[in-house]
């Protein structure tokens, strides 16, 4: 027995692991370009949120058809990965269907379940391709989806279809070979879905079948490893990041904006209120608000890497619905793109954040930021609890406080508030005038 296939397998597995670890380190470093923030209060609630929203797909089911199809792909991913364990062990040990002799009928049942899932994944992916490219569901054809994002979406679906076809082809040829009594091949019983493919292969010689079976096996396992690496370049990263992303969900009321303690200290000093701020202010006060990714929290950046560009946020954004430039999905894509750009630059010994570019201006325009009504529709819509609003509001803070770049009408509103304590230009003395009339009315 030749050990060559095992050796080749180990080399491929090792190389894939090496690249994968390198990519994970790259992503991790990029996410932590964001500011530190501790958000681990209420762990019970966090685990529950993760279980319901990520594991349980709770928010997906607000739109039933895609949720249903996605559920098959999701369960397929979780369950078929159990089979990958056998694949890897077979590859390393040079065995074939290692678990079959131990599990007997259970193995047959498991294989049928895997095949059923492979079939439903395949079917769902085909429908998803049709939705994207034939039906052209509006949220997949927005301007930010042109080019790579559209290709990325289609590539993922095609890869998944091809991988599932490989499993079914492998099982079909494997069982034909087993029935013919070919060496190493075990009869595992009746496999329904790959059985459908039998007529395609029964006319082939044993040698050809062995070739097809081995090719499918190698294609599937190498394909999965390659896909795992591809995922780190792709929006498909949500399959892993959805879990930490939901664990770190914002558990506060959605309407609450995070306080800025640095501002509180200054306001208290101006108003002569004693503060518990340190007597010596830190030598370097950070920027107010967010201009670039390092001004955002690492959770904002993780949000961006968790985004799979489904566009549910954008399809419910009142600004986007009425033709404004703002798209919450684009905000998340921009944060990710900028983090990638900075990360790549740092790895190449470049200037990183000091490259003269920034998230504001080079990626996200004021026009987009100004269009937001802070209605939280995007936050509510996100199936993995991404918060585009937090980023928008933080960037508005930078525009207002560091650039004094807010629209003229907002500046007028600020001025009214400073002088008349109301956003409109009314005399503060007149604030109570509304009561005069009612005070004269007799109670009926």
Partner 1 sequence: MSTYKVPTMAEMAGKGESPEVLFWVGCAGSFDDRYKAVTQAFVKILNKVGVSFAVLGPEEACTGDPARRAGNEFLFQMQAVANIQVMNGYNIKKVVTACPHCFNTIKNEYPALGGKYEVIHHSQFLQQLINEGKVALQGGGEFKGKKITFHDSCYLGRANNVYEAPRDVIKALDVELVEMKRCKTKGLCCGAGGAQMFKEPEPGKKDINIERTEEALATGASTIAVGCPFCLTMMTDGVKNKEKEAEVKVYDLAEMIAKDMGI
Q: Which is nearer to partner 1, 356 or 439 (CB)?
A: 439
| Phi/psi of residue 364, nearest 5 degrees | -115, 130
| 35 phi and psi angles, rounded to 5 deg | -70, 155
Which of the residues 126 through 155 are near partner 1 (CB under 8 A)?
Answer: none
CB of 67 to partner 1, least distance (A): 15
Give the nearer residue to partner 1 in terms of CB position, either 207 or 442.
442
Draw the binding track, 258-277, toward partner 1 (x: CB under 8 A; -: no contact).
Answer: -xx--xx-xxx-xx-x----
Q: Under rule CB under 8 A, which residues in 384-413 are in contact with partner 1?
A: 393, 396-401, 406-407, 409-410, 412-413
Nearer to partner 1, 99 or 398 (CB): 398
Closer to partner 1 by Cβ: residue 241 or 377? 377
Give how far Cα 318 sits from Cα of 70, 115, 324, 327, 335, Å: 26, 43, 9, 10, 21
Interface stretch with partner 1, choices 11-19, 42-50, 314-322, 339-347 (CB under 8 A): 314-322
Residues 277-306 that bind partner 1 (CB under 8 A): 288-289
| Subset of 32-71 contacting partner 1 (CB under 8 A) | 62
Residue 138 is given by DSSP the state G
Give Cα separations from 146 to 113, 140, 152, 153, 283 (angstroms): 37, 9, 10, 11, 45
Touching partner 1, residues 167-206 (CB under 8 A): none
Contact 346, 352 (CB under 8 A): yes
Q: Could you tell me the smallest distance in angstroms from the CB atom of residue 259 to partner 1?
A: 4
How many residues interact with partner 1 (rule CB under 8 A)? 76
Question: How far is CA 300 from its chain centroid?
Answer: 12
| CB-based contact 351:34 (threshold 8 Å) | no
Task: Find out whether 144 and 327 touch, Cβ atoms under 8 Å.
Answer: yes
Q: What is the DSSP letter of 35?
A: B
Of 17, 81, 202, 373, the one binding partner 1 (CB under 8 A) is 373
- Least Å distance, CB 399 to partner 1, is 6
* Pair 305, 237: CB distance under 8 Å: yes
Return d(Cα 304, Cα 289) in angstroms, integer.
Answer: 18
Within 242-261, which residues bind partner 1 (CB under 8 A)? 252-257, 259-260
Distance between CA atoms of 178 and 201, rounded to whole angstroms? 13
Of the candidate spans 4-12, 158-166, 301-309, 321-329, the one that interacts with partner 1 by CB under 8 A turns out to be 321-329
Segment interacting with partner 1, rule: CB under 8 A, options 22-30, 38-46, 207-215, 426-434:
426-434
Among 321, 347, 354, 355, binds partner 1 (CB under 8 A): 321
């Amino acid at each position: 027995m030749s050990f060559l296939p095992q050796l080749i397998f180990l080399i491929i597995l090792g190389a894939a692991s090496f690249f994968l670890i390198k990519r994970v380190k790259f992503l991790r470093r990029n996410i932590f370009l964001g500011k530190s923030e501790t958000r681990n209060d209420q762990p019970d609630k966090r685990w529950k949120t993760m279980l319901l929203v990520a594991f349980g797909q709770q928010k997906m089911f607000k739109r039933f058809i895609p949720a249903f199809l996605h559920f098959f792909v999701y369960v397929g991913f979780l369950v078929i990965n159990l089979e990958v364990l056998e694949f890897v062990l077979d590859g390393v040990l040079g065995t074939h269907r290692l678990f079959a002799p131990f599990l007997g009928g259970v193995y047959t049942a498991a294989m049928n379940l895997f095949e059923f899932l492979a079939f439903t994944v395949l079917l769902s992916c085909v429908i998803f391709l049709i939705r994207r490219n034939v039906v052209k569901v509006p949220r997949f054809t927005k301007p930010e989806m042109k080019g790579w994002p559209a290709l990325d979406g289609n590539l993922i679906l095609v890869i998944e279809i091809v991988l599932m076809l490989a499993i079914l082809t492998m099982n079909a040829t494997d069982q034909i070979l087993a029935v013919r009594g070919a060496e190493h091949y075990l009869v595992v019983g009746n496999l329904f879905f790959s059985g459908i493919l039998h007529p395609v292969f029964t006319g082939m010689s044993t040698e050809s079948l062995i070739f097809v079976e081995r090719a499918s096996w190698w294609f599937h396992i190498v394909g999965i490893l390659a896909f795992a690496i591809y995922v780190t370049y792709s929006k498909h990263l949500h399959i892993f990041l959805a879990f930490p992303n939901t664990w770190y969900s914002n558990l506060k009321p959605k309407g609450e904006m995070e306080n800025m303690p640095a501002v509180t200290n200054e306001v208290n000093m101006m108003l002569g209120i004693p503060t518990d701020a340190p007597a010596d202010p830190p030598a370097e006060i950070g920027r107010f608000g967010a201009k670039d990714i390092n001004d955002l929290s690492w959770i904002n950046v993780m949000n961006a890497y968790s985004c799979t560009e489904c566009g549910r946020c954008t399809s419910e954004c009142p600004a986007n619905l009425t033709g404004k430039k703002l798209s919450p999905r684009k905000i998340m894509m921009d944060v990710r793109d900028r983090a990638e750009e900075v990360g790549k630059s740092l790895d190449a010994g470049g200037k990183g954040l000091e490259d003269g570019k920034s998230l504001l201006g080079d990626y996200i325009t004021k026009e987009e930021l100004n269009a937001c009504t802070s209605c939280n529709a995007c936050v509510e819509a996100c199936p993995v609890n991404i918060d585009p609003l937090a980023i928008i509001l933080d960037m508005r803070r930078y525009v207002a406080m560091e650039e004094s770049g807010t629209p003229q009408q907002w500046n007028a509103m600020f001025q009214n508030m400073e002088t008349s304590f109301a956003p409109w230009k009314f005399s503060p003395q007149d604030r109570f005038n509304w009561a005069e009339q009612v005070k004269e009315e007799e109670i009926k």
